[in-house]
Structure 1
Amino acid sequence: MRIIKIIVCALLGFMLSHCTKEKENIVEKTETIPAPQGAVMLTGRGKPSPSLGKIGDFYIDLTQSDLYGAKTQAGWGNPISLKGADGQNGTNGQNGQDGANGQNGTDGQDGQDGANGQNGTNGQDGQDGARGSVLHTGNTAPDAQLGEIGDWYIDGQNKHIYGPKTATGWGNPVIQF
């Protein structure tokens, strides 16, 4: 019996010493439960099964912090909670450092083509271009006064092509056909 009381007191002392509250209010509940010599303190997660232990044993549910026992012929009985009242909320901690930038994501699919836009207004007329080459024709060789530099001449009767005209004149035919 003395061993059970020592075990229960040691267990309660251990649990209360690990609390991290700024201010502690200790509430003690003392109840003497007779137990036969050789009783054992059992632990597990969840309620004890009826077949576990023998009469006089104690059981601590580590999940709920509940104490069962001493076990009687009727079973484990109702547990006693070993938890204290909830403490006050602590102060907020400091914000942590920003994390590293993540990797760029993959490119998305191309979007659908948009609708055709309205036609724009016509632009202004451009300036007249430079005079292009002119093709002159006749039935004799070209007269030196005819045409300008860059022009061509076809002599249809003699089947000659002259050109292009240079600053020195028409020159000799370039093609005979």
Structure 2
Amino acid sequence: MLLSLTTTVQCTKQTTEEREVEQAGSAILRGETPPVDSVGKVGDYYINEKTAEFYGPKKSAEEGGWGAPVRFGKDISSKARILSGTGMPKNTDGNEGDWYLDKETKKLYGPKTKNQWGNGIVLGGNPNNGSNQDNDASLPNYRLGDEGKTLLAWTNPKTQVIDMRKDAKLNQVEKLEIGAVSEQRALQKFVLGDQVGIIGASAFKNCFYLEEFVFNRKLTTIEETAFQYCLYLETMELPEGLEVLGQQAFVSCVKLKKVVVPSTCKNIHGAAFEKCEALEEVVLKEGIENIYTNAFQGCKTLRKVVFPASLKGLGAGIFKDSGVTEVTFKGNVPESGLGQGTGSPFEGVATLEKIYVPEQFIEDYKAQLSDYKNIIHPIK
């Protein structure tokens, strides 16, 4: 018997719905957040409609519960039909883009492409996306390159905590390659190895549920989009010794509330914290020299920012579409128009009410920021 469940990933319902797929089999549950342990029974399946991820079959708590999901849609606007039955699907079953769940072997096939179902993924037991059928314990968690100095990729999508310091080989790694730990949906905590100096571009991109990140003392570089869409990060106290903070390094970290940028980081590159909508506190330590275009664009919760006396230059629109109401400069007038664009650092800010500057430089600031001269005041 072939049964189907049609899923629209853009579903707006907030409650979890349950629907029986087989009278004597498991249920497929649906919601817009990852499933918690109290949801469903052992043997059930679960669809996160917001992220197009498929969990299951659920195991006992001792065996890991829901485990890590499998992504079944290309993006959150996709629609997918999940068919189910006993045995492998036939090429005549379903339509292009459909998925098929073999309830007997717990394999998920699809998406159907050019009239082919593919080899299938073993749900709940295979961390390598269907490439083989080995038990989890026999598969490597990561791949290294450059004689063990570079982490090329983390290959086990079920991992919830990665502590590089507890693995002798990982603790010798000096660089995380581009996208090395990206798309790890189960990952909640990451401890950086003692020797890592470079976090490569997009290294943790789309680690949606990463909540805690522990830095080391040797990190010098965070490249572009390194933490993009890490949706559950709340505090990032960047370590002393960090020198490079790349473009869009933390873009769309929507729950990030506090950021501390160390004195060793001379440059904050463009859009580094763009769309961090919950950002309330930014600590810029003495030593920072340049902040580039749109660095804090869209930070709607941000209200007050203090620039250190070491500041030399600002890009255009660094607070564009933010909620900033008060800015304090501790030093002389910084150069404007760094990077792309030549506009004012405050262009696009509708909420700005006060700019505080050292009394001896007040006329210089009024000349440089003439559009804002009426709200420029000496530091109290």
If you compute each CA radius of gyration, which structure gives the higher value, 1 or 2? 1
TM-score (norm 1): 0.36
Which one has the bigger strand percentage?
2
